[in-house]
Amino acid sequence: MAALLEVKGLKAFYGQTQSLYDVGFDIETGGITTLLGANGAGKTTTLRAICNMVRREGLVRFDGKDIKNLPTEEVVRLRIAHVPEGRGTFTTLTVDENLRIAAYTRKDKQAVNRELERVFAYFPRLKERIQQQAGTLSGGEQQMLAIARALMLGPRLMLLDEPSFGLAPLIVVEIFRILRRINEEEKVSILLVEQNAALALDLADHAYVLETGRVVMSGPSTVVKNDENIRKSYLGY
Amino acid sequence: MEQFLQQIASGLANGAIYACVALALVMIYVSTDHINFAQGEMAMFSTYISWQLMSWGVSFWIAFILAVLLSFVMGVVIERVILRPLHNAPVLSIVVVFIGLLAIFNSVAGAIWSYLIKEYPSPFPKSSFGIAGVIGPHQLGVVLVTLIVLGLLFAFFRYTPLGLAMRAAAQNPQMARLVGVRVDWMLALGWGLAAAVGAVAGIMVAHIVYLDPNMMAGILLYAFAGALVGGIGNPGGAVLGGFIVGVLENMVAFAGNQLEKATGVYIIGNGEKLTVALIIVIFVLTVRPAGIFGRVVVKRV
């Protein structure tokens, strides 16, 4: 079976500085893949490069189609939903508006309302706060809002950038449980970037380890998890 | 008492104009962090277009609508053609472009229509409109038209998906892209709407200040003051700020006149109302730098 997302020889640059040298991986349809690595290894940059938010070179193919030259907003319209670092909340908009914005190109209002209900089934807490200004939500709620908004795009692939960042452990467990459900029930493939390797390896079925802009290791999560060498040298636990 | 009400009413009419221009300034400011100094001259140009259409025999309201639509297109084109290449330019380069646009619109209008002051008609019926002794027909008409336009804009931004997309693009452009919003087009659309609102202001005020290429210079200043008083990042605040400045300037003149009547000493009057109003504006901003309705945004660096 062909991979849903195929990345080969990916390089990325911030101005004159090169931050990715040779990143390559495949994401299978329906799978959960995680990118691990220390600070500055290039995990976030890899996600940004897929969505064309940084200058990049190399091959990025989604569903067999080369998407290297598409601007960010067109990449998203292929139903690749990016939940960015820092959650990207529209702080002055309401929770309702934060969700509806992801469906603004759709004409069918009824379908959008149905979609909202479907999303609220995963995040009942957001429904309670529907008219609240999103900037007043707690960190965990904003992370839920970001994932819910990504769901509103009806994604085939979800890119998640450190969903556990800055959250209380209990909230993190709840969010990861919801991610697993989304993957199973909505058939959404997931590419997860995480600092918390233990957590990510539990959720993912495949893992790639990045170091200074290169993939240095990859394999099924169970293998990576149980390989003491990898754990000690790259994952630090 | 009647004089007092009259002054308030005419202050509201002027304020309505300032409110429109202030809103135009804010619409561009919230999405780009720039103040378009050419906003007033663009409105003046739109007003000339409507005058030209009328002189070709088009009726007032048709000319009004056509001029507003043309201004919208003009705003979009200016953004796409002139400002697009400057998206990452330093602030001062953009300021220079705005000042350049101001000078260009001013001299092109002068070249086409001359600098002679022209009369501009009022579309509102003389009888049966307005409240005798308090507000004249044109003033009442101006207030009504601007309120309708502001109401429509509010509804557009608040209740339509496109309005929502524009607000999202202004607030967090990067995230807006990530939900599929074409942010560049939202900016152009914002410019178009700002130009259209400016055109409404120009056409409404031309009967009061007469038509000439410099008609908007003072108004832009008042509108800017209004936007700052209300809070430059807050559209609703800017509109209220416009009205406040309009009423304030008349109140200053009114108070001066009363004082003169009571004491026989001339202290302030019509000639000084701009100065005094701006002093009050500066005072407000010293006390509340973000404006009355503005919020202080703390940025992490």
Distance from the A171 Cα atom to the nearest Cα atom in chain B, whole angstroms: 23
Distance from the B211 Cα atom to the nearest Cα atom in chain A, whole angstroms: 40
- Total count of residues recorded for chain B: 301
β-bridge partners, A157: A80, A189
Task: Indicate whether B208 belongs to any domain.
Answer: yes
Task: Give the total number of structural domains in chain B.
Answer: 1
Distance CA B27, CA B104 (A): 22
Task: Indicate whether B274 belongs to any domain.
Answer: no
Task: Indicate whether B20 belongs to any domain.
Answer: yes
- What pLDDT, in 10s, does the model give residues B40-58? 999 999 999 999 999 999 9
Q: For B159, name the nearest residue in chain A, comparing CA atoms only.
A: A97
Give contacts of A91 with chain B, Cβ < 8 Å.
Answer: 171-172
The answer to whether the beta carbons of residues B292 and B237 sit under 8 Å apart is yes
Q: What is the pLDDT of residue A228?
A: 80
Give contacts of B177 with chain A, Cβ < 8 Å.
Answer: 53, 71-73, 76
Residue among B161, B162, B177 minimizing CB distance to A73 = B177
The answer to whether the beta carbons of residues B215 and B119 sit under 8 Å apart is no
Q: For B174, name the nearest residue in chain A, comparing CA atoms only.
A: A88
* Contact between A77 and B180 using a beta-carbon 8 Å cutoff: yes
Nearest to residue A140, comparing CAs of A106, A108, A116, A174? A174
Note which residues in 192-231 of chain B have CB less than 8 A from chain A. none
The answer to whether the beta carbons of residues B80 and B101 sit under 8 Å apart is no
Determine the 3-state secondary structure of A55 from DSSP. Answer: strand
The answer to whether the beta carbons of residues A218 and A23 sit under 8 Å apart is no
pTM of the full structure: 0.89
Q: What is the pLDDT of residue B301?
A: 47
Which CATH fold topology does A5-235 show?
Answer: Rossmann fold (3.40.50)
Domain residue limits at B35: 2-216
- Give A57-112 as a DSSP string: EEEEEETTEE-TT--HHHHHHTTEEEE-TTTT--TTSBHHHHHHGGGTT---HHHH
- pLDDT tens string, chain A, 237 residues long: the values are 578 999 999 999 998 899 999 999 999 999 999 999 888 889 999 999 999 999 999 999 999 899 988 999 999 999 999 999 888 899 999 999 999 999 887 778 888 999 999 999 999 999 999 999 999 999 999 999 999 999 999 999 999 999 999 899 999 999 999 999 999 999 999 999 998 888 999 999 999 999 989 998 899 998 888 888 777 777 766
The mean predicted confidence, pLDDT, of chain A is 91
- What are the C-alpha distances in Å from B289 to residues A234, B36, B230, B286? 50, 20, 10, 6
- What pLDDT, in 10s, does the model give residues A166-220? 899 999 999 999 999 999 999 999 999 998 888 999 999 999 999 989 998 899 9
